[in-house]
């Protein structure tokens, strides 16, 4: 029987390519051993946002967790190998745009939400930057990138109305050529940004609200405010 990990990682790579409005469909997905993935997800699940002291700790506290999603869903972390971000972009290349904010990242925590059938339907990254200015810049660059993104194989639709999000937010919905609709919800506070991509609109909105609640609880000094 195919393992959940072998199903999950190629699907994650596909989702990231789709949201990138281009890119290399043959790019290999990040590979992570189960033990580090389990350890990082356990740390994320138990992290108290109010007790964080650095942007990296704050990003971990707002990383996707099972409680953010409907009952029966699970979450798998996909840790960055050795924490090396140099070859592990977050937004770089999306819509063919260069993101200067990428060089200001200090940590990130990618994860995938699987529905009760075991299908990856939500992907997320919680990203720490070296300053609140860099975090805000990332969202500005993301907003501008989507505005200039060539239609080609996707059609942009009216974005979903999701209440309870952070003050600085980017929300986009588009339909791919194959008929799949994806929602992108990116929100930030200070030096921390959460980017979420969902093929299940209700689950994506639920997770985004839950993440926003934890983001609001982050101490201002921990996120450069």
CB atoms within 10 A of CB 199: 19
pLDDT higher than 70, residue 6? no
pLDDT higher than 60, residue 12? no
Write down the residue that tokens 């991509």 correspond to.
197
Nearest to 188 by CA among 219, 212, 210, 220: 212
Distance between CA atoms of 207 and 211, rounded to whole angstroms? 6
Q: Can you give the residue ranges of every domain in the chain?
A: 36-223
Average of pLDDT values for 112-116? 95
Tokens standing for residue 35: 């033990």
For 184-218, what is each residue's pLDDT tens digit?
999 999 999 999 999 999 999 999 999 999 999 99
User: What mean pLDDT, rounded, does the chain reach?
Assistant: 86
Its pTM stands at 0.87
Model confidence at 7, pLDDT cuts 50, 70, 90, reads very low
Average of pLDDT values for 108-115? 95
Model confidence at 139, pLDDT cuts 50, 70, 90, reads very high
Q: Are 130 and 191 in contact (CB under 8 A)?
A: yes
Average of pLDDT values for 9-26? 37
Nearest to 202 by CA among 95, 69, 39: 69
The pLDDT assigned to 14 comes to: 38
Q: Are 35 and 41 in contact (CB under 8 A)?
A: no
Per DSSP, the three-state class of 207 is helix
Tokens standing for residue 221: 């000094």
Q: Which CATH class is domain 36-223?
A: alpha beta
The pLDDT assigned to 207 comes to: 98
CB proximity list for 26: less than 8 A, separation 6 or greater: none
Per DSSP, the three-state class of 96 is helix
Write down the residue that tokens 């050529």 correspond to.
177
Tokens standing for residue 31: 């590979």
Nearest to 49 by CA among 39, 60, 40, 38: 60
């Amino acid at each position: 029987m195919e393992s959940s990990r072998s199903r999950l990682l190629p699907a994650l790579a596909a989702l990231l390519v789709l949201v990138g409005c281009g890119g290399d469909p043959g790019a290999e997905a990040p590979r992570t051993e189960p033990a580090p993935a389990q350890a990082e997800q356990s740390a994320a699940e138990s992290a108290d946002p109010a007790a964080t002291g650095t942007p990296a700790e704050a990003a971990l506290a707002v990383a996707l967790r099972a409680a953010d999603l409907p009952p029966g869903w699970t979450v798998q972390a996909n840790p960055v190998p050795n924490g090396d971000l140099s070859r592990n972009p977050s937004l770089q290349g999306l819509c063919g745009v260069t993101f200067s904010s990428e060089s200001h990242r200090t940590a990130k925590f990618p994860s995938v939400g699987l529905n009760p059938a075991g299908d990856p339907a939500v992907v997320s990254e919680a990203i720490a930057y070296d300053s609140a200015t860099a975090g805000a810049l990332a969202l500005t660059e993301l907003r501008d990138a989507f505005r200039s993104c060539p239609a080609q194989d996707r059609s942009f639709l009216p974005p979903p109305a999701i209440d309870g999000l952070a003050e600085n937010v980017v929300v986009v919905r588009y339909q791919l050529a194959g008929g799949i609709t994806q929602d992108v919800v990116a929100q930030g506070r200070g030096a921390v940004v959460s980017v979420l991509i969902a093929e299940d609109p209700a689950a994506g909105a639920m997770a985004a609200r839950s993440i926003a609640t934890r983001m609001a609880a982050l101490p201002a000094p921990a996120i450069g405010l």
